[in-house]
Amino acid sequence: MENNNEIREVNLMSTLIDAVIIAKSKSKIIFIVFGVVFGLGFTYLFLKSPVYKTEMIVSSSEVTSERLAIIIEPLEKLVEEKNYTELSKFLRIDSITAAKIKTIEAKEIKDETKMNQSSSYSSEDLRQQNCLVSIQVKSNPLLFDTIQLGILHYLRNNDFVKRKSVLDMNNLMRMKARINREIRDLDTLKRTIATQKGGYMYMDPSSINNTIAELYQSELNIDMQMKLEDDGINIIRDFVRFKQPVAPKANIILIICFLVSIVISFVWISFDVSYHEKIADSK
């Protein structure tokens, strides 16, 4: 058994020595192959436009995050079919900038704690839902800002979002006006009670103050909703301009070049050795 192991080890060493000898004798072929393959690899990295990726998070007080993703879906298809003329119309950007967009994707960011809630959402519930929009752009990460404005324009000018945003804003304004009238009426009543010595003994001024305070709080809540309305679409996080491209990946390209060089060198040397062996046999 030990003899068999020793024989195997000797054969393995002999094979490795032969391989090293052949490699040394064919070093010119190896240098040519590695030079050509790595030259092509570096040329590809130099000529290939870098691709940059970024993401933003948006929410809407008018539609769910799932429907936001559905609204953005046509943009994804336009990019896939390279229909940059139509894409530029939707985003209100020039066709040259549109042609730099490699991908547009949108997906709902699900909150597991709210998955079983009712499908009847208030505007505040909708604001708490987020949609992740990611894009990839060729050559220039400075285009992220322009494309972000284009996507927001597209979302805010969606017919349903636009009409519902206007309707909600009008309702909030009417509600605020009504609260202001009620506060003025209660202030008038409170002053009247203070000036009258009789006839209002059953009315408690402190309860009127409490009611006025509640109405003021309601007015503050309405003001906050109006400020957060932002034409129905809110940006939770802007696109960030990252400097590091996501493609092409230089390390992966170089690893592929190394492996391809080894394979080609092995095949070339094998053919070369067999060719010379045939010539020697023929002589």
pLDDT, tens only, 244-254: 899 888 889 99
DSSP state of 243: S
Residue 120: pLDDT above 60? no
Half-sphere exposure of 262 (CA within 13 A, CB side): 5
What are the backbone dihedrals phi and psi of residue 119, each rounded to the nearest 5 degrees, phi first? -80, 0
- Please write the tens of the pLDDT for every residue from 138-170: 988 999 999 999 999 999 999 999 999 999 899
Q: For residue 248, is the peptide bond before it cis, meaning its omega torsion is within 30 degrees of 0?
A: yes
Residues 204, 210, 213, 215: is their CA dihedral positive or negative? negative
What pLDDT shows up at residue 118? 47
* Residue that wins the pLDDT comparison between 91 and 272: 91
* Residue that wins the pLDDT comparison between 161 and 3: 161
Q: Are strands 130-138 and 233-237 parallel, antiparallel or unpaired?
A: unpaired
What pLDDT shows up at residue 15? 54
Quick one: average pLDDT of 2-24? 55
pLDDT band at 268 (very low <50, low <70, confident <90, very high): confident
What pLDDT shows up at residue 6? 54
What pLDDT shows up at residue 208? 80
Assessment of whether the complete model's pTM goes beyond 0.85: no
Dmax (CA) of the chain: 137
